[in-house]
Amino acid sequence: MSREELNKISNNIENNFGKIEAPKICVHDLKRRLKDKQTKKNISNVIILFTLIFFIGFLLLFIY
Protein backbone atom coordinates (compact mmCIF):
# COMPACT_ATOMS: atom_id res chain seq x y z
CA MET A 1 0.00 0.00 0.00
CA SER A 2 1.14 3.47 -0.71
CA ARG A 3 1.13 6.39 1.68
CA GLU A 4 -1.82 7.98 -0.08
CA GLU A 5 -3.96 4.88 0.40
CA LEU A 6 -2.98 4.67 4.08
CA ASN A 7 -3.83 8.35 4.56
CA LYS A 8 -7.23 7.84 2.92
CA ILE A 9 -7.98 4.86 5.13
CA SER A 10 -6.92 6.69 8.29
CA ASN A 11 -8.99 9.74 7.31
CA ASN A 12 -12.04 7.53 6.71
CA ILE A 13 -11.58 5.93 10.11
CA GLU A 14 -11.24 9.33 11.83
CA ASN A 15 -14.28 10.74 10.03
CA ASN A 16 -16.54 7.76 10.73
CA PHE A 17 -15.34 7.07 14.28
CA GLY A 18 -18.25 8.71 16.11
CA LYS A 19 -20.94 7.67 13.64
CA ILE A 20 -21.57 4.16 14.97
CA GLU A 21 -25.30 3.74 15.50
CA ALA A 22 -26.59 2.08 18.63
CA PRO A 23 -29.42 -0.42 18.30
CA LYS A 24 -32.87 0.92 19.06
CA ILE A 25 -34.33 -0.38 22.31
CA CYS A 26 -37.89 0.28 23.34
CA VAL A 27 -38.88 1.50 26.81
CA HIS A 28 -40.51 -1.84 27.66
CA ASP A 29 -37.22 -3.69 27.16
CA LEU A 30 -35.32 -1.11 29.20
CA LYS A 31 -37.79 -1.39 32.08
CA ARG A 32 -37.60 -5.19 31.98
CA ARG A 33 -33.79 -5.13 32.00
CA LEU A 34 -33.75 -2.66 34.89
CA LYS A 35 -36.21 -4.80 36.86
CA ASP A 36 -34.11 -7.92 36.27
CA LYS A 37 -30.95 -6.11 37.33
CA GLN A 38 -32.58 -4.76 40.49
CA THR A 39 -33.95 -8.23 41.32
CA LYS A 40 -30.49 -9.79 41.05
CA LYS A 41 -29.01 -7.02 43.20
CA ASN A 42 -31.72 -7.44 45.84
CA ILE A 43 -31.16 -11.20 45.97
CA SER A 44 -27.44 -10.74 46.51
CA ASN A 45 -28.09 -8.14 49.24
CA VAL A 46 -30.49 -10.51 51.05
CA ILE A 47 -27.93 -13.34 50.90
CA ILE A 48 -25.26 -11.06 52.36
CA LEU A 49 -27.65 -9.91 55.10
CA PHE A 50 -28.56 -13.47 56.12
CA THR A 51 -24.93 -14.58 56.20
CA LEU A 52 -24.04 -11.61 58.42
CA ILE A 53 -26.96 -12.38 60.76
CA PHE A 54 -25.90 -16.04 60.88
CA PHE A 55 -22.28 -15.24 61.72
CA ILE A 56 -23.22 -12.63 64.34
CA GLY A 57 -25.65 -15.10 65.93
CA PHE A 58 -23.02 -17.84 65.87
CA LEU A 59 -20.47 -15.55 67.52
CA LEU A 60 -22.97 -14.51 70.19
CA LEU A 61 -23.77 -18.15 70.97
CA PHE A 62 -20.07 -19.02 71.02
CA ILE A 63 -19.28 -16.18 73.47
CA TYR A 64 -22.04 -17.17 75.91
Outline where 1-64 has alpha helix (H).
3-15, 27-63
Residue-wise pLDDT for 8-62, tens only, equals: 887 777 666 666 666 777 888 889 999 999 999 999 999 999 999 999 999 999 8
Task: Give the number of domains in the chain.
Answer: 1
Local structure of residue 17 (DSSP, 8 states): T
In a domain, 53, yes or no: yes
List C-alpha distances in Å: 18 to 10, 11, 58.
14, 13, 57
In a domain, 29, yes or no: yes
In a domain, 14, yes or no: no
